[in-house]
Amino acid sequence: MKLLFITIGLLLLAVAGIAIKIWAKKDGEFAGTCASQNPMLNKDGEACGFCGKLPENCENN
């Protein structure tokens, strides 16, 4: 039972942290969520599969 309470407490702490980050950010958006901005994921400079932006078209380079 103690392990269940610890697990639930840690999950609530993680959710609260994410909620605070969204609340603190302008317009509630995470910065740099486009996959084309991550050089480790996009080594060839291809367009994002979700939004279609090229790395040079992203505002958070």
* Domain assignments of the chain as residue spans, ordered by start: 1-26, 31-61
3-state helix, strand, coil in the chain (%, to 5): 50, 0, 50
Q: Which residue has the tokens 């078209």?
A: 57
| Confidence category of residue 1, pLDDT binned at 50, 70, 90 | very high
In the prediction, which pLDDT does 16 show? 94
- Long-range contacts formed by 45-52: CB under 8 A, 24+ apart: none
Instruction: Summarize pLDDT for 2-61 with one digit per residue, the tens.
Output: 999 999 999 999 999 988 877 777 665 666 566 666 666 677 777 777 777 776 666 654
In the prediction, which pLDDT does 35 show? 63
